Amino acid sequence: MSEETWTIQRVLDWTVGYLERKGDERPRLSAEWLLCHVTGLSRVELYVNFERPLSAEELAGMHDAVARRGRGEPLQYVTGEMPFRHIILRCEEGVLIPRPETEVLVDAALEGVDAAVAAGRTWGDVECRRAQSYEAERTRAEARVKELQEVLRTNEEELPNERVVDELVRQMEVLSAARAAGKDGARVLDLCTGTGCIALSIASEREGTHVVATDLSPVAASLARRNCTKLGLDDAVDVYECDLAAAVPAELMGTFSVLVSNPPYIPTAVLEHDVPAEVKDHEPRLALDGGPDGLNLFRRILALAPQVLVPGGWLCVELSEDNVVQAAELCRAQGGWSHVEVRNDLTRRPRVLVAVREG
């Protein structure tokens, strides 16, 4: 791009052409996404501000972003974020990018959470933590309420001071919120959490749910923790860097109502020859390669499930359309499951294994 002034429309048109020549399958969508990223505008706002020129800073940011995308870097890594269900996640190189298909996996896990709550298999983990964090706030509010009440009592023969009354009302609201009983919820274990998309969606959509999330990758575990903090879910989600459930507290084993996972499930040969370069060259192999049949890690998760789940607990795993049926057969062969099914993803391809423990 030259140093002359560029409007949103000119930048958009130029970027579409450039990315098209670079082989981008959806050049216009990519161009819009990059422009939204550097300008802070929504896609609708781009189109009603076609004549707005980009600032020098925005133009420099766009130049860098377009160059990275032109080299085949995934959009989510270029912009650093990804919308998933009802949340926005930070995305970084070295951590698997969440896919829309995984939203179906979350739906299945939420069904398991709801079934646990309906059956009364709930815990007060999250409420206990929040009660502790509210302690200092509650103490300050109680002290201030007493001060304000004393001010009003000493002036009871005069007209009440409106500012004192207003503050008293606000402090009483703080007390009320701090004393309000939260909901008990189920316990969920999310293995191979990556960005934390599954764990954080479950915690944000089901109040009171305590989610324990793990990942072998230190990069992924760090990112999941940061996403957790950004979304204000530190009281509801714990993230451990470990192999499967190795670091999960012993007292929690056998108490989970849902075991959910999006493990590496692409067969090695398929990963080598049939996966797009944008995925193979940029996303972590650790999160993709599932071994000869794509089920190496699934077999370990299946062996772990009876130690993790309560009777009636749900196992929900995302797999490939080429191996999910085989995974279901492995469940049936293991025994101890009252129900095993395979669900389709958004494109109607078999994708999600759901199994319910007996009891």
Per-residue pLDDT of the chain (359 residues; tens, 9 = 90+): 445 689 999 999 999 999 999 988 889 989 999 999 999 998 889 999 999 999 999 999 999 999 999 998 998 999 998 889 999 999 999 999 999 899 999 999 999 999 999 999 999 888 888 776 666 666 777 777 777 777 777 765 555 567 777 777 777 776 666 555 567 899 999 999 999 999 999 999 999 999 999 999 999 999 999 999 999 999 999 999 999 999 999 999 999 999 999 999 999 999 988 888 888 888 889 999 999 999 999 999 999 999 999 999 999 999 999 999 999 999 999 999 999 999 999 889 999 999 999 98
Task: Give the pair of three-digit tokens for residue 72.
Answer: 């085949």
| Domain range summary for the chain, segments of one domain joined by + | 8-72, 102-124+184-357, 126-179
- pTM across the whole model: 0.82
CA distance 45 to 210: 38
SS3 41: coil
What CATH code would you report for 8-72? 1.10.8.10
Fold of 102-124+184-357: Rossmann fold (3.40.50)
In CATH terms, are 8-72 and 102-124+184-357 the same topology?
no
Q: How many CA atoms lie within 13 A of 208 on its CB side?
A: 14
Q: Where are the alpha helices (DSSP H) in the chain?
A: 8-21, 27-39, 43-47, 56-70, 75-79, 102-118, 125-154, 162-179, 197-205, 218-230, 268-273, 277-280, 296-308, 324-334
Taking alpha carbons only, the member of 342, 317, 320, 316 closest to residue 329 is 342
- Give the other-Cβ count within 10 Å of 320's Cβ: 19
Phi, psi (degrees; rounded to nearest 5) at 69: -65, -35
Q: Token pair of 346, please?
A: 């958004």
Phi, psi of 289 (to 5 degrees): -80, 110
